[in-house]
Amino acid sequence: MKRFLISLVLLTIALNLFAQNPPAYKIFTATGEPITYEQMINNLLSANVVFYGELHNNPIAHWLELRITKSLYDKTNGHIIQGAEMFEADIQLIINEYLNDFIREKDVKNEARVWPNYPTDYRPLLEFAHDHKIPFIATNIPRRYANLVFRKGLDALNNLSDQAKSYIAPLPIKFDPNLKCYKDMIQNMVHMGMHGSTKLAEAQAIKDATMAYFISKNIPDKGIFIHYNGSYHSDNHLGIVWYLKIYAPKAKILTISTVEQDDLSKLDDKNKNLADFIVVVPSDMTKTY
């Protein structure tokens, strides 16, 4: 009885401290076991491709992307390559010119079709690559071609020029509408009474395939490729991850996903197995836009 009372008192103290000092995030394994940041980093070192699945407007996700990049850089003695959904393959030349100091940062902002939240959320990642002479790969399909697929389907890509196709995964890509990530998208559109549901999934698939393809072409012989993307592109080891296993079957892949929960004390069942590591952020966390 005495031991129970002591445990109860300690639990009460811990809960009070938790309430007084609410955490900004907590990390769990796929099965819901709490894990420290350092433990996660040490586990990531066993991979040669790491996906950070972010929530695009979440400041903790963006901060952790940079922190994890710095940690992996230090742990691998600088042997990392960065890549991102937020930059499209046809602006790789612009990124390379900036990393080599041929052009100015304002040229990147003016010509690389950067996202509206680039200054706060993605500029720090590109600047880290610039300052440390790290390759940074623009992995995504040019949005005009993804839009073409949404309007006319995957077959429409066959009519593009060879130069245009050089910014896309090799055609034809494998497309499985029964994969959960695409099946859910199709069903959601059907439920909303919207047309073009399959084409929307095809447009998502060509993005995933293209990102996977350019990652596969740049996996380092020694070190880690870290890729930043929306969590829906890599959750459940589908999307980009599914295609990467086709293009680079020997790749050692680990994934991180970001989720929001009201309660950070444990991982909600619905968020288990989304990724190898799940970063849980309070639901009321400030948004960047």
Q: What is the pLDDT of residue 1?
A: 53
User: Beta strand pairing status for 224-230 and 49-54?
Assistant: parallel
pLDDT per residue as tens, the chain (289 positions): 554 444 444 444 444 444 567 899 999 999 999 999 999 999 999 999 999 999 999 999 999 999 999 999 999 999 999 999 999 999 999 999 999 999 999 999 999 999 999 999 999 999 999 999 999 999 999 999 999 999 999 999 999 999 999 999 999 999 999 999 999 999 887 777 666 579 999 999 999 999 999 999 999 999 999 999 999 999 999 999 999 999 999 999 999 999 999 999 999 999 999 999 999 999 999 999 9
CA 233 to chain centre: 7
CATH for 26-282 (3.40.50.11550, 3.20.20.140, 1.10.8.100, 3.40.250.10): 3.40.50.11550
Q: Determine the distance from the C-alpha atom of residue 69 to the mean position of all C-alpha atoms in its chain, rounded to a whole number.
A: 13
- Picking from 79, 86, 95, the residue whose alpha carbon sits closest to that of residue 65 is 86
Distance CA 110, CA 125 (A): 18
Instruction: Tell me the C-alpha distance between 233 and 142, whole Å.
Output: 16
Three-state helix/strand/coil letters over 101-139: CCCCHHHHHHHCCCCCCHHHHHHHHHHHHHHHCCCEEEE
pTM score above 0.85: yes
Task: Please provide the size of the chain in residues.
Answer: 289
pLDDT value for 13: 45
Contact 83, 136 (CB under 8 A): yes
Q: Where are the alpha helices (DSSP H) in the chain?
A: 2-20, 37-44, 59-75, 92-99, 105-111, 123-132, 143-152, 162-165, 180-191, 197-216, 240-247
Structural domain boundaries of the chain? 26-282
Q: What's the pLDDT score for residue 72?
A: 98
